[in-house]
Structure 1
Amino acid sequence: MNMFASTLYRIMEWIMRFAYLQLLWIGFTLFGFVILGFYPSTAAMFAVVRDWIRGETDIRIFEAYWNYFKTDFLKTNLLGILITSIILLIGIDIYYIQLDKSEQLAWTYIPLFAFMALFLLYLVYLFPVFAHYDLKLSGVLRNTLFIMLISPIHNLLLVISLGALFLIMKSVPALAFIFGGSAYAFITMWLSLHAFNLVERKKRNA
């Protein structure tokens, strides 16, 4: 009975941690009026999750989150400008392709959607790389691309895991509001850390 109670307590403790981290993510995003808050808030969430995965489960969540948020506020928003600009360019391309009903632009759907798929996968790795490595923005961008290209198995695992998470959240929308962001960050960070460790082992053995 004591073992059952202890296990139940640990489960509830982690549920509360994920829910609290989700609340911080939403709150700090709104604190930055969404535009200035989303990227630093997301980076801070990934940094806290990274600490948990590396065994630092006793950290003061709010203090750690706030420290990551304010430390990387400018850097993450500069990164956000780049990401948002690319998303806008993709949106403009799609708009003009749909606007032109001729077959002249129809062939551009395939390379555009291929680029979109690769860009989405790139974004999946981007925040884990940002949280894990102490690099300048140019280094973050290069490392993200490098890790994505040499990690096909992890890419597949990420697609399957995040696809399953999406289906679960779609089936129970309330879970998306309570755990969506933090669960996404945990799955992505956990698999990304495995990819990072593999890359570092390859470098040492090279």
Structure 2
Amino acid sequence: MQLGTFSNVVYTFCEWVARLAYINLLWILFTLSGFVFFGFFPATIAMLATLRQFIRKNHPPVLQTFWHYYKKEFINSNKLGLVIVAIGLILLINIRFLQTTNNMSTLLFYSSVIMSGIYILIICYTLASFVEVEQPLGVHLKNALLITISNPIPSLFIIFGFAAVYFAVTYLSGLGFFFSVSILGLVILSSANLAYKNILKKQEKLSAN
């Protein structure tokens, strides 16, 4: 590898590290500005939308871009958040109920846990879809379910990515404050892009046949 190429790689890496730390801090700030509950989903959507611009090799100003999406999607992202939280609470209540039932079926309990894991994947794809195209919330959720079922490899990337971030944050003090959420966002968007490419390939094969 030539020196100039190596320098470019190092520069790009440092640029991404600084960018992820900045976006992570913005996510914390804007989540708190919405009193956490009302700020969490708008900040998350703004984070994903901002990261998406950089993945597409656009280089917009970070703060202005983040603020633009935060304002634009504040209402719709909170509507999506209410649906996500409501379904999540139902799954959680179901699992807690099964845990307290003495004669519960082990199979039923683990089925609920697996459903909860699948639901987390659906949330990830829903959030990625939300910043990709404008559609009704029901369509986002339906498409996310179909992607989760039909694309196991990208889903495994999300699982392993989340696990890697969890262990990194657990064992490396201070890392979570600067990078945890933004890296998770990068994992979600990269995995979703891989899923979209797989779907496009399948559609092209069907069209060719």
Q: Normalising by structure 2, what TM-score?
A: 0.88
- What amino acid does structure 1 have at the position aligned with 2:75? L
Query: Looking at both structures, which has the greater relative contact order when contacts are Cα pairs under 8 Å and sequence separation is at least 6?
Result: 1
- Aligned partner of 1:80 in structure 2 is 81
**Aligned equivalents of 2:84, 2:173: Cα separation in 1:** 27
Return the offset for 1:103.
Answer: 1.0
Alignment of 1:146-157 (within 5 A): 146-157=146-157
Which residue of structure 1 lines up, in the alignment, with residue 136 of structure 2? 136
Note the C-alpha offset of 1:82.
0.9
- Report which stretch shifted further, 132-141 or 158-167: 158-167
Q: What do residues 32-77 of structure 1 show as CA deviations (whole Å, max 9, x unaligned)?
A: 1111100011011111111111111x20111111111111111111
Corresponding residue number in structure 1 for 2:111: 111
Letter in 1 for 2:174: A
Offset of 1:200 from its aligned partner?
2.5
CA contact (8 A) 2:99 2:109 kept: no
Report the Cα distance in structure 2 between the residues aligned to 1:194 and 1:97, rounded to whole angstroms: 36
Where does the alignment leave 5 or more consecutive residues of structure 2 unmatched?
A: none
- In the TM superposition, what is the alpha-carbon distance from 1:104 to its structure 2 partner? 4.0
Residues 80-115 of structure 1: per-residue CA shift (max 9 Å, x gap): 111111222223223333333x21465531221121
The Cα shift of 1:8 comes to: 4.0
2:63 is the counterpart of 1:62: yes
The secondary structure found in structure 2 opposite 1:173 is coil
Give the counterpart letter for 1:41 in structure 2.
A
User: SS in structure 2 opposite 1:55?
Assistant: coil
TM-score, normalisation: structure 1: 0.89
* Aligned residue identity for 2:111: P
What is the SS of the residue equivalent to 1:94? helix
List aligned pairs for 1:175-190, cutoff 5 A.
175-190=175-190
CA distance in 2, matches of 1:183, 1:152: 21
User: Is the 2:162–2:184 Cα contact (8 Å) retained in structure 1?
Assistant: yes
CA, structure 1 residues 106+149, in 2 after alignment: closer, same or farther (shift >3 Å)? closer
Q: Unaligned stretches of 5+ in structure 1?
A: none
In 1, the alpha carbon distance for the partners of 2:173 and 2:147 equals 32
* 1:138 shift after superposition: 1.4
Q: Deviation string for 1:131-177 (max 9, x for gaps)?
A: 11221211111111111111112112222232222222221131111
Identity, % of aligned pairs? 28
Match of 1:97 in 2: 98
Alignment RMSD (CA, Å)? 2.0
What is aligned with 2:164?
164
Alpha-carbon distance in structure 2 between the residues aligned to 1:2 and 1:205? 42
Deviation at 1:125, TM superposition (A): 1.6
Q: Which amino acid aligns with 1:155?
A: S
Give the match's secondary structure for 1:103: coil
Does residue 26 of structure 2 align to residue 24 of structure 1?
Answer: yes
Q: Which amino acid aligns with 2:179?
A: F
- CA distance, structure 1, for counterparts of residue 68 and residue 133 of structure 2: 16
202 and 107 in structure 1: CA distance in 2 versus 1, 3 angstrom threshold: closer
